[in-house]
């Protein structure tokens, strides 16, 4: 580990502790006593207000009301941050209105040479979903639905919500306990427990017209909600063994409720177990297409007849 990286990590380490000793620094970062002392002195020189305690059990502590001094980034850390930032383009993420100020601040932290490197990276790197005709990092055309940020702001305070949905010019209201807010197939979706119907529901954020906290008096406790969900868990009816190629496809895309368990330390084989609602034609079609997407590197342990028939039908269409 380079010195500047080590010192940055040590600063974060000690800033989160009420007390530390040289021995702890030596052990934590695998460095000699003399190196630990030199690093501590450099950190003090940067302005971190450390107070030394004399005595057998002495050490150091950071003065109250102190703040972590400016962190220095290495070239690779700057590039990693910038590339991660670039990869969020056209993803319709919340708070994108802050993107321009974030980019300007990031560029303002670094040298001209580092800025030149980032400008070049911005020109040559394209990520999935990026419009090659307009790859501008500061393009604001990919803003999400305006209700998304309002929803998140309320969620930070309360997960019991009263939401209003407009579908085909019909407005409905639902009282829900939000379980997950997730993005799938370029859409932001709400998975919530309907407090009236007492079942899981999925809502598209794009159909939201209003959201607000649900009145306290009418709430079902979180514990009871989880108990009801547990009792409603479906019986597993799809079990597959996945090889390395199928696992690679799974990592590219999989439905939210589907997960895998690796069966060897190298993560080259896995078991997939889930429930398929064969009475839901939309879900049946989606899971059939997804299984074809996984490819031939799978072995079927258990599968509903309806799914099997759907696969055979699609394969017949592809290979008459």
pLDDT at residue 135 greater than cutoff 60: no
Query: CA angle at residue 100 from 94 to 105, to 5 degrees?
Result: 115
Q: Which two tokens stand for residue 49?
A: 């207000």
The pLDDT of residue 277: 82
pLDDT digits (tens, 9 = 90+) for 94-113: 877 766 677 777 777 777 88
pLDDT band, residue 133 (cuts 50/70/90): low
Query: CA angle at residue 244 from 241 to 247, to 5 degrees?
Result: 70
118: Cα within 13 Å, side-chain hemisphere:
26
The pLDDT of residue 52: 75
Query: CA angle at residue 151 from 146 to 152, to 5 degrees?
Result: 105
The pLDDT of residue 129: 60
Rounded alpha-carbon distances, angstroms, from residue 241 to 238, 258, 261, 291: 10, 14, 10, 12
pLDDT digits (tens, 9 = 90+) for 229-242: 877 766 888 999 99
CA–CA dist 226, 192 (Å, integer): 12
The pLDDT of residue 40: 86
pLDDT band, residue 207 (cuts 50/70/90): very high
pLDDT digits (tens, 9 = 90+) for 153-202: 998 888 999 999 987 788 999 999 999 998 877 788 999 999 988 888 88
What b/e sequence results for 202-233 when a residue is b if at least 16 CB atoms lie within 10 Å of its CB, and e otherwise? ebebebbeebeebeeeebbeeeebeeeeeeee
pLDDT, average across residues 279-299: 89
The pLDDT of residue 125: 81
CA–CA dist 198, 214 (Å, integer): 15
pTM of the model: 0.56
46 three-state secondary structure: coil
The pLDDT of residue 112: 80
């Amino acid at each position: 580990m380079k010195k500047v990286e080590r010192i940055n990590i040590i600063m974060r380490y000690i800033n989160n502790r009420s007390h530390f000793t040289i021995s702890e620094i030596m052990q934590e970062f695998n460095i000699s006593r003399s190196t630990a002392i030199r690093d501590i002195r450099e950190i003090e020189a940067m302005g971190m207000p450390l107070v030394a305690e004399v005595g057998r059990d002495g050490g150091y502590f950071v003065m109250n009301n102190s703040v972590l001094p400016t962190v220095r980034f290495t070239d690779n850390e700057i590039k990693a941050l910038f590339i991660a930032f670039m990869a969020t383009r056209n993803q319709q993420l919340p708070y994108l209105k802050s993107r321009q100020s974030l980019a300007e601040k990031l560029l303002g932290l670094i040298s001209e040479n580092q800025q030149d490197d980032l400008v070049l990276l911005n020109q040559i790197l394209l990520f999935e979903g990026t419009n090659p005709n307009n790859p501008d990092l500061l393009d604001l055309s990919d803003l999400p639905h305006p209700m998304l940020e309002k929803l998140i702001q309320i969620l930070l305070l309360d997960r019991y919500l009263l939401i209003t949905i407009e579908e085909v010019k019909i407005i409905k209201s639902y009282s829900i306990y939000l379980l997950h807010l997730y993005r799938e197939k370029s859409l932001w979706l709400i998975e919530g427990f309907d407090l009236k119907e007492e079942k899981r529901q999925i809502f598209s954020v794009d159909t939201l017209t209003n959201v607000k906290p649900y009145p306290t008096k009418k709430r079902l406790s979180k514990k009871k909600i989880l108990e009801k969900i547990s009792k409603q868990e479906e019986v597993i009816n799809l079990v597959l063994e996945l090889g390395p190629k199928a696992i690679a496809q799974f990592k590219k895309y999989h439905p939210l409720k589907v997960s895998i368990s690796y069966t060897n330390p190298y993560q080259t084989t896995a078991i997939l177990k889930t429930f398929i609602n064969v009475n839901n034609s939309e879900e049946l079609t989606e899971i059939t297409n997804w299984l074809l997407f996984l490819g031939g590197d799978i072995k079927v342990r258990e599968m509903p007849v309806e799914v099997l028939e759907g696969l055979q039908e699609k394969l017949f269409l592809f290979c008459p």
